[in-house]
Amino acid sequence: MATILINGQEVTIPDGQRLNLIQAAALAGIEIPHYCYHPGLSVVASCRMCLVEVGQRDADGNIRMMPKLVPACATPATDGTVVVTNSEKVRHAESLVEECLLLDHPVDCPICDQAGECYLQDYFYKYGQRERRAPETPFTSRRKDLGPYVTLFVNRCIMCSRCVRFTREVSGTGELAVVRRGNKAIIDVFDDYQLDNPLSGNTVDICPVGALCSIPFLYKQRVWFLRGNRSICLRCSTGCAIQVDHNRNRVYRLKPRYNPNANDWWMCDFGRFGFDYVYAEDRLRQPMRRTDGMLQPVSWDDIAERFAELWREAAGQDGTGTIAVVLSPFLSCEDAYLSCLYFRNLALPVRFYLGRVPVHGADETFPRRLLGAITNGRQQEPRFVIRAERCPNRRGVEAIIRHFQGEVPGFDDFLRDARQQDIAAAYLTGGYPESWLTEQEADVMGMLRCLVVHDVLPGPHLRHASVVLPMAVWFERAGSYVNYNGTLQCTERAVLPAADARSVGRLMWALLGRTRLYRPEVVLEELAEEVPVFAPAAELKGEFPEYGVRLDLSEPAHEAV
């Protein structure tokens, strides 16, 4: 156990943790300003913003300070280290670095997307000096698109080289480089190349200033108008922790949140920019029922009143027709659990199926192997994986179906059973961000007596639907999801659902006759009690765990209710 002294305050570093002085100071609530240091990247100690005075305290309590300043990012916190971050000397160094960085900076904050979350700006107010002593600089701002999603404002760059290190160390694609020397140095892509790797959007996040900006987000919003809600990305089973930034009920930006159980600091462009479908023109917005062969708008109340009756009719006079309940892996655990409860209680023959699990190729791992990279013969652990399984909650839905039914038939089983007319009716849930059924597959459903589709986007399945229900997408509802390694993560609702869309959970809550408003956190507590696999979530009590809760899904629970 190491104890260090920061500005006279003792900080104990927990055993087994190797921290640098920036991290150690953060434990004490002291901010050491920094630009080039990022916990996910190698340390270069080049911005020199984190300079501090250090010394060593010996066993007798005598302190010997070093004569020169050292970069906190490259100095390990060891027992007896003494750190001073607020001396005159440190303040002078900080203000000089800040002044140097602003020498060639265009100071175009009024038109800069980063303004409001810009370190250069924030540190200037905290550590800069008021007066500019360099009158000779013209203000210019040149822009260059580096790739489909990332643009560079050349003169805003402070040369921290985070983006360059990211493309070399995390994505392993190495498109970016520093070209030229001295104060003429700039970040650039090599000729005929562009920054188009699947992780390129992260360079925008890690850019401490407004040099790298996201093209889809450019000039869309001032960041101080945005409100952020914690959520996860549902584009693959990695389940990246994200923040959903929105204003006036519209989502503008998704950003990764640190979660060592899922994504570390990163997310892929596919997830980051892939939420356009939420605002698609043709998104399902209203409940509809087929009358005289045409889908006609109806109200949710109508649906709720007649829902149970629908299934009884479909099951037939003798009540022998099986009802298929297809639970999509895009549903939250609460959605799936309440659906299971509701259909169980119908006292009709019901079969639960896991909805289609979209799989695209193989897992894509990063860093990609870079030619000439010096790995010293070490096998590198992947730093980031875009998983082939392109859905957020296959494991959660599977665990719930397994609990209620013992076995978990898949979507192909559903299609087969439908084709063989083993089932009479189906409640089909979707939530997929793109079209997910072929015409032929949809035609199979034409043989059903009753088909209720609860989905986000239209598709061929609507042709045979008796009832169509619009679904709220993930950031329009709260819920929890289980990612590839069994981490249960909760999401908050960021915006209200588009038009009249509702989540499966809310529908089922009402159908189950529960009073008051639908509260997913209450459902999660109940789920944790009912389904043993989810037991670790019982202690949450509505708390939002930053890094999620690890579930043990290794042994499938076989007991059927």
Partner 1 sequence: MATDFEPVLLANVGVPDSQRLEVYRQRGGYRALEKTLREYSPEEVVELVVQSKLRGRGGAGFPCGMKWKFLPKDRTVTYLCVNADESEPGTFNNRILMENDPHQVLEGIAIAAYATRAQTAYIYIRYEYVRAYETLQQAINEAYEAGILGERVLGSDFSLNVYLHRGAGAYICGEETGLIESLEGKRGWPRTKPPYPAVEGVFRKPTVVNNVETLCCVKHIMDRGVDWFLSIGVPADPNNPRDLGSYGPKLYCVSGHVNRPGCYELPLGVPCRELIERYGGGVRGGKRAKAVIPGGLSMGFLKEDELDTPLDFNSLQKVGCLGLGTAAVVVFDEDTSIVELLHRSCRFFAHESCGQCTPCREGTGWMYRILTRILHGEGRIEDLDLLLELADSMGIIPGTTICGLADGAAWPVKTAIRKFRDEFEAFIRSGSRLTAASSGSAAGEAS
Q: Which residues bind partner 1 (CB under 8 A)?
A: 43-49, 51, 68-71, 74, 92-93, 96-97, 100-101, 103-104, 133-134, 136, 158-159, 161, 177-178, 180-185, 372, 374, 376
Minimum distance between the CB of residue 74 and partner 1, rounded to whole angstroms? 5
* Identity of the residue, 51 or 83, whose beta carbon is nearer to partner 1 in the bound complex: 51
Which residues, 6 or more positions from 414, have their beta carbon under 8 angstroms from its beta carbon? 324, 326, 353, 423, 426
Picking from 252, 251, 226, 261, the residue whose alpha carbon sits closest to that of residue 481 is 261
35 in Cβ contact with 71 (< 8 Å):
no
Minimum distance between the CB of residue 16 and partner 1, rounded to whole angstroms? 22
* Identity of the residue, 102 or 241, whose beta carbon is nearer to partner 1 in the bound complex: 102
Minimum distance between the CB of residue 183 and partner 1, rounded to whole angstroms? 4
Minimum distance between the CB of residue 48 and partner 1, rounded to whole angstroms? 5
* Structure-token pair, residue 524: 């999660």
SS3 state at 160: coil
* Identity of the residue, 158 or 323, whose beta carbon is nearer to partner 1 in the bound complex: 158
* Identity of the residue, 74 or 346, whose beta carbon is nearer to partner 1 in the bound complex: 74
CA distance 92 to 324: 71
* Identity of the residue, 25 or 101, whose beta carbon is nearer to partner 1 in the bound complex: 101
Minimum distance between the CB of residue 155 and partner 1, rounded to whole angstroms? 13
* Identity of the residue, 72 or 262, whose beta carbon is nearer to partner 1 in the bound complex: 72
**Read out DSSP for 478-497?**
-EEEE-TTSEEEEE---SPP
Sign of CA dihedral 186, 190, 193, 197: negative
* Identity of the residue, 14 or 182, whose beta carbon is nearer to partner 1 in the bound complex: 182
* Identity of the residue, 376 or 554, whose beta carbon is nearer to partner 1 in the bound complex: 376
Minimum distance between the CB of residue 163 and partner 1, rounded to whole angstroms? 15
73 in Cβ contact with 89 (< 8 Å):
no
Residue environment code for 100-118, b if the CB has 16+ CB neighbours within 10 A, otherwise e: ebbebbbbebeebbbbeeb
Minimum distance between the CB of residue 377 and partner 1, rounded to whole angstroms? 10
* Identity of the residue, 164 or 452, whose beta carbon is nearer to partner 1 in the bound complex: 164
Minimum distance between the CB of residue 374 and partner 1, rounded to whole angstroms? 6
Torsion over CA of 29, 56, 52 and 184, rounded to 10 degrees? -130
Minimum distance between the CB of residue 547 and partner 1, rounded to whole angstroms? 31
11 in Cβ contact with 81 (< 8 Å):
no
CA distance 440 to 66: 76
117 in Cβ contact with 210 (< 8 Å):
no
Minimum distance between the CB of residue 118 and partner 1, rounded to whole angstroms? 16
**Read out DSSP for 183-224?**
GG-EEEEPTT----STTTHHHHHH-SSSSEEETTTTTT--GG
Minimum distance between the CB of residue 49 and partner 1, rounded to whole angstroms? 7
Minimum distance between the CB of residue 87 and partner 1, rounded to whole angstroms? 13
Which residues, 6 or more positions from 376, have their beta carbon under 8 angstroms from its beta carbon? none
What letter does residue 340 receive in the DSSP assignment? H
Q: Which spans in 474-559 are helix H? A: 504-511, 520-530
- Look at the block and give the residue holding tokens 């998704």: 254
* Identity of the residue, 32 or 528, whose beta carbon is nearer to partner 1 in the bound complex: 32
Burial of residue 131 (number of CB atoms within 10 Å: 0-12, 13-18, 19+): exposed
For the chain, give percent helix, strand, coil, nearest 5.
30, 20, 50
* Identity of the residue, 68 or 248, whose beta carbon is nearer to partner 1 in the bound complex: 68
* Identity of the residue, 73 or 488, whose beta carbon is nearer to partner 1 in the bound complex: 73
The neighbour count for residue 182, using CB atoms within 10 Å, is 5
Sign of CA dihedral 163, 164, 166, 167: positive
* Identity of the residue, 190 or 544, whose beta carbon is nearer to partner 1 in the bound complex: 190
- Look at the block and give the residue holding tokens 């037939």: 316
* Identity of the residue, 380 or 420, whose beta carbon is nearer to partner 1 in the bound complex: 380
For the chain, the farthest-separated pair of C-alpha atoms sits apart, in whole angstroms, at 92
Minimum distance between the CB of residue 157 and partner 1, rounded to whole angstroms? 11
Minimum distance between the CB of residue 99 and partner 1, rounded to whole angstroms? 8
25 in Cβ contact with 31 (< 8 Å):
yes
* Structure-token pair, residue 202: 């992260």
